[in-house]
Amino acid sequence: MTAVVVSARELARRSQAAASVKDRAGWLGLFAGDAVVEDPVGPSPLCPDGRGHHGTEAIAAFYDSVIGQVDRMRFEIERSYLCGDEVADVGTIHLTFPGGDTMRVRGVFTYRGDGTGKIAALRAFWEFTNPDGQS
């Protein structure tokens, strides 16, 4: 039997779909045990030390404190660039919070596969103080 290769783009779409329907187990199951999530990259209130969330437990805690707090999440990918085991998606994440407040996060969202069908790294490049990306 030949192993089915899962592209980083397919992993990104699976991650986005699971987050959109609040499938915690499905989303977490996409990550390798030693994966990292940096969302956003660098220091922010979501990760004050800017080192990201490393490993299964830290990524689960990120899900609970960030994704789990959103009522609705919709990804609008404008462009996608697949290079080797990585993909860079350019687009907007539309968020609706409890109580009806909304937020748009424009950025570049990268996913790196580990070669076994799991996500090794998810890195989101967006400005925490300017999530809409308007200068």
Give the integer Cα–Cα distance in Å for 102 and 106. Answer: 13
Residue 133 has a pLDDT of 77
Residue 7 has a pLDDT of 96
Is the residue at 12 inside a domain?
yes
Give the integer Cα–Cα distance in Å for 24 and 44. Answer: 23
Helix (H) or strand (E) holding 124: strand 119-125
Q: Mean pLDDT of successive 10-residue segments in the chain (135 residues)?
A: 78 98 98 97 94 97 96 97 97 96 96 97 92 75
Residue 130 has a pLDDT of 80
Return the CATH number at 97.
Answer: 3.10.450.50
Position 112: which residue type? R
Is the residue at 94 inside a domain?
yes
Q: Looking at the chain, how many residues does it have?
A: 135
Is the residue at 3 inside a domain?
no
Residue 3 has a pLDDT of 55
**Main-chain phi, psi angles of 35, to 5 degrees:** -70, 170
Is the residue at 133 inside a domain?
no
Please count the structural domains in the chain.
Answer: 1
Residue 4 has a pLDDT of 58
Give me the domain span that covers residue 13: 8-125
Give the integer Cα–Cα distance in Å for 111 and 31. Answer: 10
Task: Decide: 45 and 129 in contact? Cβ < 8 Å.
Answer: no
